[in-house]
Amino acid sequence: MQAWKSVAVKKSLALAGLCLAACVSISPAQARSEHHYRRLSHPAAAPAVDAAATNFGPTAPGVSSIVIDAASGQVIASNGADIPRYPASLTKLMTLDLAFQALRAGSMTLDTQIPVSYHAAAVEPVKLGLQPGSTISVHDAILAMTTMSANDAATALGEYLGGGSEPRCAALMTQRAHALGMAQTQFYNASGLPNPGQVTTARDLAILARDIVVNFPEDQPFFEVQQFNFRGHQVYSNNQMLKSYAGATGMKTGYTDLARHNLVTSASRDGRVLIGVELHEPSWGDTYQQMTALLDNGFGGHVPVTAAQIASRQPAVASPVQHLAAATRPHVPASRPAAAQLASRARQPADGSWVAQLGLFSRVSKARIEAIAARQISGAGFTRIARVERHGKTLWNAQVAGLSLAAAHEACDAMVARGNSCRIIEPRTDHLAMETTNTGDGT
């Protein structure tokens, strides 16, 4: 670390020159879109970017990577983790971090309607194609960011968080980054579209991802969504780790010409959660391959993903996130009556809406283990973890939702055989039932 600081001091003038040159040659219109997305609008093709590599700074040759233990923050392995890099759409993780804080504080809800400005509507792809003067719910904006990485949704959310100003939001993002210890990170927008001054490091992004994983577990389901319905259009996730890596719980992809291919992944195995960061990779194939190796090394071996695991992740998590928010955050009446349940109505048939309630646990890791075990037993549904405050103590509620009645009984029977409590919640009464649930074994 000391050697890095020395190099940074000696070459600060070089970096300043690089940034000045980038200011002249790069415009937002030159941003390339994320990989394999489903575009809902059809803007003109962006001109090519002259991305000549330099020996120092964000475009320096080579890659940057790090893998850490989420519980302890311990670094398991790293390579070039302190080299400044352009974050591209990984920027959205910080926008989401601010949003999760606002949701928990009750200053907005998932039903809150965000106005779409001309600026937000005009940003470069990837985007939903939002129209100026329209609105989008916080719920849908978050899902659009975690799945297809929509820049218009991120910009609109950033403007809302910044009191109507994206630059003000960027200042809050930078302030939050430095408070977390992300000393080499600076933000200038909420989406990750190119800005020569917007830089971070693999180490800093690992700190950010850990903050989300550890401190906002109730919002983790957003990152596990593989598809959701937005106003009649099916929107798909571009994060292939959800399909290819056993235990992957999502996070974020990012790409621009200068930033190249970037990925943050969280994964859980046997109750242990690791966070990996890969920056400045030459291709998506290399990115996913290196992330797989990085996590396998941290876990101590490779576990092939099965077809059953992929199938169990298929349902979108828009509905459970709605329920989690209602159970853990103050409720503010929404101006839009039922639009926030759009994905929920499309995804939850009457025979797949039963819930296996597994109990309250004193540790989030234990709640996750039990929920994952129950989901594997049932072979269907999706896990939900919610934070609960009771008598000044933080507990964690675990469920498997989206089950048929038979699958819910099967899951509960198996969990009771393991010595755990379990009860079945019928459709339309699913409210996490936290006030009447016994505390499970939190060890």
The answer for residues whose C-beta is within 8 angstroms of residue 92's C-beta and 6 or more apart is: 145, 146, 149, 154, 190, 191, 192, 252, 254
CATH 3.30.70.120 domain range(s) in the chain: 349-436
Catalytic residue list contains 127 = no
> So what's the pLDDT on residue 301?
82
Q: Residues 337-364: what's their mean pLDDT?
A: 55
Fold exhibited by the domain 349-436: Alpha-Beta Plaits (3.30.70)
Backbone phi and psi for residue 319, each to the nearest 5 degrees, phi listed first: -65, -50
Q: What is the 3-state secondary structure (H, E, C) of the chain?
A: CHHHHHHHHHCHHHHHHHHHHHHHHCCHHHCCCCCCCCCCCCCCCCCCCCCCCCCCCCCCCCCEEEEEECCCCCEEEEECCCCCECCHHHHHHHHHHHHHHHHHHCCCCCCCEEECCHHHHHCCCCCCCCCCCCEEEHHHHHHHHHCCCCHHHHHHHHHHHCCCCHHHHHHHHHHHHHHHCCCCCECCCCCCCCCCCCEECHHHHHHHHHHHHHHCHHHCHHHHCCEEEECCEEEECCCCHHHHCCCEEEEEEEEECCCEEEEEEEEEECCEEEEEEEEEECCHHHHHHHHHHHHHHHHCCCCCCCHHHHHHCCCCCHHHHHHHHHHHCCCCCCCCCCHHHHHHHHHCCHHHCEEEEEEEECCHHHHHHHHHHHHHHHCCCEEEEEEEEECCEEEEEEEEEEECHHHHHHHHHHHHHCCCCCEEECCCCCCCCHHHCCECCCC
Backbone phi and psi for residue 282, each to the nearest 5 degrees, phi listed first: -75, -20
Q: What's the CATH code, domain 62-307?
A: 3.40.710.10
CATH 3.40.710.10 domain range(s) in the chain: 62-307
> Over the stretch 217-249, which tens digit does the pLDDT of each residue have?
889 889 999 999 999 999 999 999 999 999 999
Strand partners, 393: 390
Tell me the pLDDT band of 303, cut-offs 50, 70 and 90: confident
Q: Residues 279-302: what's their mean pLDDT?
A: 93
Percent of the chain with pLDDT over 70: 72
> Over the stretch 37-88, which tens digit does the pLDDT of each residue have?
333 333 333 333 333 444 568 999 999 999 999 999 999 999 999 999 999 9
> So what's the pLDDT on residue 55?
54
> Over the stretch 250-260, which tens digit does the pLDDT of each residue have?
999 999 999 99
> So what's the pLDDT on residue 413?
83
Q: With a cut of 50, say whether residue 321 has pLDDT above it.
A: no
Percent of the chain with pLDDT over 90: 50
Tell me the pLDDT band of 409, cut-offs 50, 70 and 90: confident
Q: Residues 93-112: what's their mean pLDDT?
A: 95
- In terms of pLDDT, which residue wins out, 93 or 415? 93
> So what's the pLDDT on residue 396?
81
- In terms of pLDDT, which residue wins out, 148 or 354? 148
Q: With a cut of 90, say whether residue 419 has pLDDT above it.
A: no
Mean pLDDT of the chain: 77
Catalytic residue list contains 92 = yes
Q: Which amino acid is residue 234, in one-letter code? A: Q
- In terms of pLDDT, which residue wins out, 64 or 315? 64
Catalytic residue list contains 117 = no
> So what's the pLDDT on residue 312?
52
Q: With a cut of 80, say whether residue 16 has pLDDT above it.
A: no
> What's the predicted TM-score (pTM) here?
0.66
Q: Residues 345-363: what's their mean pLDDT?
A: 64
Q: Of 102-111, 286-295, 348-357, 391-400, which range is least confident?
A: 348-357
> So what's the pLDDT on residue 137?
95
Candidates 137, 149, 268, 353; catalytic one: 149
Candidates 33, 64, 65, 89; catalytic one: 89
Candidates 92, 127, 252, 366; catalytic one: 92
Q: Residues 366-382: what's their mean pLDDT?
A: 75
In 418-438, which positions are buried (b, 16+ CB within 10 angstroms) versus exposed (e)?
eebbbbebeeeebebebeebe
Tell me the pLDDT band of 30, cut-offs 50, 70 and 90: very low
> So what's the pLDDT on residue 439?
43
> Over the stretch 170-208, which tens digit does the pLDDT of each residue have?
999 999 999 999 999 999 999 999 999 999 999 999 999
> So what's the pLDDT on residue 380?
73
